[in-house]
Amino acid sequence: MFKKNKLDFFSKIIIFVLMIMLIQVVQIPILFIVNSKAINLESILFGLLYIILFVIGIWISLYVFKHNDGKLNLKLKLNHYVMVLVAYFSFMIVQIILNTLNYSFFNETSTANNQSIETLLGSNQIVLIVMMISMIFLSPILEETIFRGIFINFFFKPTQFYLPIILSGFLFSLFHQSDTIISFLMYACLGSILAYLYKKTGNLKVSILLHFVNNLIAGIILIFG
């Protein structure tokens, strides 16, 4: 069903839209525990459901990716780790510049997306725990599989390089809350860098690793910064 040469363009659109909806669906349990004032059985169960839905979402997205000629068995090499470090510090430079511009023009010290995450993390201990797990370990896998693996494999030829990188970054930014053009560009740059790593290496694990590193450091800053 999912073989690349058997899917028409309309089928790819439908499947990709369903993948985007999947990202939204896995977030639903958080809405039921964000206002809990104390840790109770209900909040714990919804927290577990949140993690379970994320894992199911990852399994579904990886299934679609794999059956669209996606390669999951590629190993990380030493040069991949070097590329991730270079990419991360490059993005940090871009982020510092854009954050400075965002503050200068819009008096915004943090993006709307980060503010929302920070608010959620401060809701209660269950939300803090499950969101940190998803933010650091689960979101990088789910989002990279969908925004890089599936999107690029579905809609672009292997010979196309810069167009899928730019459009993947643009699409990635659309699904992160941005209330200024500069914060939008920030997420678009991150998405494009992630897409660049995937296109350059052909290994989804490389972009997942960068996403993991970025979210890990961002999570630590949000909690302790």
Q: What is the pLDDT of residues 34-92, one digit of tens each?
A: 888 778 899 999 999 999 999 999 999 999 999 888 888 899 999 999 999 999 999 99
Between CA 94 and CA 166 the distance in angstroms is 16
- Mean pLDDT for the chain overall: 93
Taking 3-state DSSP, the helix, strand and coil percentages for the chain, each rounded to the nearest 5, stand at 80, 0, 20
The structural domains of the chain, with segments of one domain joined by +, span 4-224
Residue 4 has pLDDT above 60, yes or no: no
Q: What is the pLDDT of residues 172-194, one digit of tens each?
A: 999 998 899 999 999 999 999 99
> Sign of dihedral through CA atoms 136, 111, 176, 34?
positive
